[in-house]
Structure 1
Amino acid sequence: MRETEEQADLRAVVRRFLAERADLTRVRTLMAGDGTVDQTVWKEITRGLGLVGLAVPELWGGAGRGLAEETVVLEEAGRALYGGPYLAASVLAPALLLEVGDEAACAAHLPAILAGDTLAVPVVTSGTGEWSAGGGDLTARADGTGGWTLGGVASHVVDASAADLLLVVAGTTDGPALFAVPTMGPGVTVTPQPGLDQTRGLARVELREAAGTRIGGRRVDTAVRELRDRAWVAVAAEQLGVASRCLELSVDYATTRQQFGGPIGRFQAVKHLCADMYLTVEAARSVVLYAERAIDELLPERTVGAAMARVWCSDAACRVAADTVQVHGGIGFTWESDVHLYFKRAEASALLFGDPDDAAEIVAAARLEETR
């Protein structure tokens, strides 16, 4: 499993763009502000580079590629600590619409999402922030006129503060269903939530008698489970980017920081630490490549592959980020150093969309089944 020439070109374009338009100086500026999305950069991503909808079929205006191309962008986004809504709005929201399979809804929403005219995010978490295929703490009821009214709370919704449209999974009398809810509509309150990772926007969504349009198609609980697999691999790709950049920072610091007449990288303890980090990063890369391929090719083991990526990359990012702090010594703990930003992203990402232990149970169950 190797990166294609097209994917390598895509990586180069995205890396150059983020370095020029969304570097860490800009990241820190946005952190110090009100947490809003840099709309200029986002419009360049959507309209200039066409990075939104890489996995959306050409029928709906997408590039007709797959998760493999999206993970290239996500890895670079993680490497740069890009805080824009690419994960939620470009990867997960279109995937949820496609998984549900309502052609009318796809026609109504996908072109605007891909053009950058609508910023849609999925709401698939409970009031405590756990991933929920059944609607969590959100419910919907028919209003008697053909419409629907929604109520309840969802927490830790990624990029909801920047959204124009919420794709809400809510429970109904006949099971979970998907609804399109405009954020500016009555009864919709979106409140930013502080988090350990200040580079990623999270919000609490509260619905009180909010009007929504039901999106039909296949069973929503099945679609949300498929979306969870994609979300785990997407976050794993970001975590790979974080770990990869931490390795680069560690090696650079170890070869330039002088102590006792030479670079600290000549000390065996530092050498071994960097070598272990390299092995961890490359193993994470292999896991992500396997998991994305399993989803793109609809392999039977795609859920297990996604769970493996979730477990390994969560641990890898946290371990490599922590080791990067150790390599940098005292300066690694300071606000002026960028190291702590990567450490916080790694730790927070490990808990995004649920506990990695849930994914570990899926992997363990699959391995036990193989032994029977």
Structure 2
Amino acid sequence: MDFDFSDDAKALREQARKFFDERAGPAVARASMNGDATFDAQLWQAVVDLGWTAARVPEAHGGVGMTSEAACVLAEEAGRSLAPIPLAQALAATEALIALGTPEQQARWLPGIADGSVVAVTGWAEGGTASPAKASAKVDGGAITGTKSPIADLAAATIAIVSAGGPDGPALYIVDLTGEGVGIAAVDTLDLVRRHGTLTLTGAAADALGSAAGYHDWLDRAAILGSFEAMGTATAAMDMAVAYAKERTAFGQKIGRYQGVKHKCADMYIKLELARAHALHAAWAMEAGAPELRQAASAARVASLDALAFAAEENVQIHGGIGFTWESDCQFYYRRNRALVAALGSRNFWADRLVRSLEQRNAIAA
């Protein structure tokens, strides 16, 4: 079976890569890190004008109506470019509304996401918890109380789709951030390019989005998008390391000629290709609604985190002492690695989820 993307998706990837190569990258990331703005508003408006926020939105709601492949390639290119914009969050929120939203909810929010007037983010974390399967925030009579932190791109957001506990486990709720009972504050994280925030909800109006089972289905979809974002960042880190190995001279020759450095670069490539195979399988499962979606999503999440962690760390090592300095761009990929690891639950959570899904599959087969 061929899990590769369609020609349309490949064309979108080429367009996105060319755009982000011209408009984003380490230089823009450094400017964002050193600046006071919460996100790059000009870059975000350009992305909206290109129709990428509308890519997954159905035509009936003012979107383009593309398949989930489009969201995957856009997430990958956004990750590769380190773009300081809420695109990855918007894609995850759109997926939640498409998969779980009622016709009324979709009609209310999707047109705004498509035209950029609504910036949507998602949030499940509550401080130190590593498991998205738990939530301390509670909903009573349509009002939500609790704290979600950290949430990437929160300061730029109009609505937040957050998890809250219920009798059957956590479920998703839509919160209008312009309403009462909403508090937003900046929070420091290791990622200095994509700003994060703390969302404090005190009896804020919350609109239920699907069920507890639907929440876990969305987690699988968000994990797939996150795996492509991680692969994009890993690819950029690997490319940076290989380029440096080709130009850095030590003891009279390029360091890329040393066997130890060659092995590091080869291992980065192998881990990345393994992650890509898992991610492509997961993307197919998401689009096809295949029964192995949870297994494929979990495997893609684990493999992509492994590839990113290895590439980000080895990129620093190959650069040697300069790789640890503030002036080096290596830090951006290492920092983003740590942020993406925490963005949707720990690696251990997803490894356990993979094992559970395999056990369930084997039990059914037996």
Q: Which residue of 2 aligns with 1:145?
A: none
Range moving further from structure 2, 290-299 or 57-66: 57-66
Structure 2 unpaired stretches of 5+: none
Task: Work out the CA distance in 2 between the residues paired with 1:64 and 1:241.
Answer: 24
What secondary structure sits across from 1:350 in the alignment?
helix
Report Cα offsets for 1:169-203 as digits up to 9, x if no partner: 43467976654432232221111211112122221
Q: Which of 203, 227, 235 is the matching residue for 1:209? A: 203
In structure 2, do the counterparts of structure 1 residues 124 and 220 end up closer, same or farther at CA, with 3 Å as the change threshold? Answer: farther
Alignment of 1:95-110 (within 5 A): 95-110=95-110
What secondary structure sits across from 2:295 in the alignment?
helix
- Which letter does structure 1 place at the counterpart of 2:82? L
Task: Work out the CA distance in 1 between the residues paired with 2:350 and 2:169.
Answer: 24
Q: Which residue of 1 aligns with 2:155?
A: 161
Q: Which residue of 2 aligns with 1:68?
A: 69
Residue 239 (structure 1) aligned with residue 230 (structure 2): yes
Range moving further from structure 2, 239-248 or 48-57: 48-57
Task: Work out the CA distance in 2 between the residues paired with 1:243 and 1:95.
Answer: 24
- Which letter does structure 2 place at the counterpart of 1:182? D
Shift, 1:112, TM fit:
0.9
Alignment of 1:208-287 (within 5 A): 208-210=202-204, 212=205, 214-215=207-208, 219-287=210-278
Kindly indicate whether the alpha-carbon contact (under 8 Å) linking 2:170 and 2:215 is maintained by their aligned counterparts in 1: no
Q: Which residue of 2 aligns with 1:199?
A: 193
Residue 364 (structure 1) aligned with residue 358 (structure 2): no
Residue 305 (structure 1) aligned with residue 296 (structure 2): yes
Kindly indicate whether the alpha-carbon contact (under 8 Å) linking 1:236 and 1:288 is maintained by their aligned counterparts in 2: yes
Residue 114 (structure 1) aligned with residue 107 (structure 2): no
Q: Which residue of 2 aligns with 1:45?
A: 47
- Which letter does structure 2 place at the counterpart of 1:222? A
Task: Work out the CA distance in 1 between the residues paired with 2:171 and 2:267.
Answer: 46
- Which letter does structure 1 place at the counterpart of 2:322? I
- Which letter does structure 1 place at the counterpart of 2:116? G
Report Cα offsets for 1:227-250 as digits up to 9, x if no partner: 111111111111111111122111
Task: Work out the CA distance in 1 between the residues paired with 2:215 and 2:4.
Answer: 29
Q: Which residue of 1 aligns with 2:136?
A: 137
- Which letter does structure 1 place at the counterpart of 2:115? A
Residue 20 (structure 1) aligned with residue 22 (structure 2): yes
- Which letter does structure 2 place at the counterpart of 1:139? K
Task: Work out the CA distance in 2 between the residues paired with 1:256 and 1:59.
Answer: 52
Range moving further from structure 2, 159-168 or 276-285: 159-168
Shift, 1:131, TM fit:
5.1
Kindly indicate whether the alpha-carbon contact (under 8 Å) linking 1:137 and 1:154 is maintained by their aligned counterparts in 2: no
What secondary structure sits across from 2:66 in the alignment?
coil
In structure 2, do the counterparts of structure 1 residues 160 and 220 end up closer, same or farther at CA, with 3 Å as the change threshold? Answer: farther
Task: Work out the CA distance in 2 between the residues paired with 1:124 and 1:292.
Answer: 23
In structure 2, do the counterparts of structure 1 residues 51 and 131 end up closer, same or farther at CA, with 3 Å as the change threshold? Answer: farther
Report Cα offsets for 1:319-347 as digits up to 9, x if no partner: 11111112111111111111121011112
Residue 324 (structure 1) aligned with residue 315 (structure 2): yes
> What count of residue pairs does the alignment treat as equivalent?
361
Shift, 1:274, TM fit:
1.1
Shift, 1:221, TM fit:
1.1
Q: Which of 174, 181, 184 is the matching residue for 2:178? A: 184
Task: Work out the CA distance in 1 between the residues paired with 2:23 and 2:198.
Answer: 29
In structure 2, do the counterparts of structure 1 residues 172 and 238 end up closer, same or farther at CA, with 3 Å as the change threshold? Answer: closer
Task: Work out the CA distance in 2 between the residues paired with 1:2 and 1:176.
Answer: 34
Shift, 1:114, TM fit:
0.8
Range moving further from structure 2, 30-39 or 111-120: 30-39
Range moving further from structure 2, 330-339 or 295-304: 330-339
Range moving further from structure 2, 110-119 or 55-64: 55-64
Task: Work out the CA distance in 2 between the residues paired with 1:133 and 1:327.
Answer: 38
What secondary structure sits across from 1:289 in the alignment?
helix
Q: Which of 21, 32, 35 is the matching residue for 2:34? A: 32
Kindly indicate whether the alpha-carbon contact (under 8 Å) linking 2:131 and 2:346 is maintained by their aligned counterparts in 1: no
Task: Work out the CA distance in 1 between the residues paired with 2:174 and 2:264.
Answer: 49
Kindly indicate whether the alpha-carbon contact (under 8 Å) linking 1:322 and 1:343 is maintained by their aligned counterparts in 2: yes
Task: Work out the CA distance in 2 between the residues paired with 1:29 and 1:137.
Answer: 37
Kindly indicate whether the alpha-carbon contact (under 8 Å) linking 2:132 and 2:345 is maintained by their aligned counterparts in 1: no
Output the TM-score relative to the length of structure 2: 0.91
Kindly indicate whether the alpha-carbon contact (under 8 Å) linking 2:171 and 2:214 is maintained by their aligned counterparts in 1: no
Structure 1 unpaired stretches of 5+: 143-147
Task: Work out the CA distance in 2 between the residues paired with 1:309 and 1:214.
Answer: 31
Q: Which residue of 2 aligns with 1:2?
A: 4
In structure 2, do the counterparts of structure 1 residues 65 and 171 end up closer, same or farther at CA, with 3 Å as the change threshold? Answer: same
